[in-house]
Structure 1
C-alpha cells in the first residue's frame, strides 16, 4: 500500500494540509508517498489573483482550522492583485523536484507551498526552484533542467484517473483498491483511524 497525495501548489487548502501530510508521513515511514499535481488554475482560471475575491476570507478560514502560516510577502501579492497563479508551471516544478528526490516528494511539495504562501515567491520562476532545491540540499542544476523540460499533462491525467476533482485529496492505494483518506481537511488522527480500518480488512 502507498499514499497518493493529490494537491495543487497554488491551493490554500493544500497549504493548510501540509502539517497533516508531514505528520502522517512521519507516523507511517513504511508507506511511500506519491505526490501528484492537479490543475486548479489553468485555462480561463489563469487570471490576476484579484479576480478571486474570496482568497483572503478563505485564507483566514484555513489559518483558523489548520494554523497554516500566510506570510507578509504573500499578503503583499494579494493586496497588489496582479499576480497570476499558473498551476501548469507549478506542476512542472513539482515534477522537477520529485524527479530529483522521489522519496522526499511530500517534503518538497510542502516546501514549495511555503515558498509561495510564506515567502511570496512565484512558482513560475525558475529561481524559486533553485532556492527550494538548495534549501533541501539538492543540486539545483538538474532541478532547473527538469523544470524546463517537464510537462504537467501526466500529473493532470493521473489526478483525473483517481477521480480527484478537489484539492487536497489523500488516497490510500493498494493494488486496484483506492480509498479516500482525506479530502479538503482532516486531522492526522482522522487519517490514522481510516488507515487502521483499512489495515483491519
Structure 2
C-alpha cells in the first residue's frame, strides 16, 4: 500500500493540511508517499490574487478551524493584490524537488507551502526552489534546471484520473484500488481510523 497526496501548492486548505500530513507520514514511515500537484490556478484562473476576493475570509476560516497560520509576508502579498498564482509553475517546482528527493516529497510539498503562505515567495520563481533545495541539502542547480524544463501535464492528468477535483485529497492505494482517507480538512486521528479500517 502507498499514500497519494494530491494538493495544490497555492491552496490554503492544502496549507492547513500540512500538519496532519506530517503527522501521518511520521507515524507510517513504512508507507511510501507520492505527492501529486493539482491544477487549481491554471488557464483563465491565472489572474491577480485580488480577483479572488474570498481568499482573506477563507484564510480566516482556515485559521479558526485548523489553527493554520499565514505569515506577514503573505498577508502583504494579499494586500497588494497584484501577485498571480500559477499552479502550472508550482507543479513544475514540485516535480523538480520530487526528482531530487522522492522519499522526502511530502516534506518538500510542505516547504513549498511555507515559502508561499509564510514567506510570501513566488512559486513561479526559480530562486524559491534554490532556497528550498539548499535548506534540504539537495543539488540546487539540478532542482532549478528541472524546474525550468519540467512539464506539469502528467501530474494534472494523474489527479484527474484519480477523480480528484478538490484539494487536498489523501488517498490510500492498494494495487489499483483507491481509498479516500481525507478530502479537505481531517485530523491525523481521523486518518488513522480510516487506515485501520482498511486492515
Normalising by the smaller structure, the TM-score range is over 0.9
Cα shift readout 1:81-117 (whole Å, capped 9, x = no counterpart): 0000000000000000000000000000000000000
Unaligned ranges ≥5, structure 1: none
**In the alignment, what sits opposite 1:69?**
69
Cross-structure match for 2:159:
159
Show the counterpart of 1:34. 34
- 3-state SS of 1:179 partner: strand
Q: What CA deviation, in whole Å up to 9, does each residue of 1:4-47 have, x standing for no partner?
A: 00000000000000000000000011110000000000001000
Which segments of 5 or more consecutive residues in structure 2 lack a partner in the other structure?
none
CA offset at residue 65 of structure 1? 1.6
Q: CA RMSD for the aligned pairs?
A: 0.5
1:7 is matched with 7
Residue 159 of structure 1 aligns to a residue whose secondary structure is helix
1:89 — aligned with what?
89
Q: Secondary structure at the match of 2:165?
A: coil
Inter-partner Cα distance in structure 1 for 2:146 and 2:137 = 17
> Which SS does the other structure have where 2:97 is aligned?
helix
What SS class does the counterpart of residue 82 from structure 1 fall into? Answer: coil
The CA distance in 2 between the partners of 1:92 and 1:139, in whole Å, is 16
**CA distance in structure 2 between the aligned counterparts of 1:3 and 1:61, rounded to whole angstroms:** 27
SS of alignment partner, residue 29 of structure 1? coil
1:47-66 superposed Cα distances (whole Å, 9 cap, x missing partner): 00001000011101111122
Q: Aligned partners of 1:141, 1:51: CA distance in 2, in Å? A: 35
Q: In the aligned structure 2, how far is the partner of 1:73 from the partner of 1:40?
A: 22
1:123 corresponds in structure 2 to 123
TM-score by length of 2: 0.99
4+ residue segments displaced more than 6 Å: none
* Within-5 A mapping of 1:168-187: 168-187=168-187
Normalised to the residue count of structure 1, the TM-score between the two structures is 0.98
Aligned to 1:46: 46
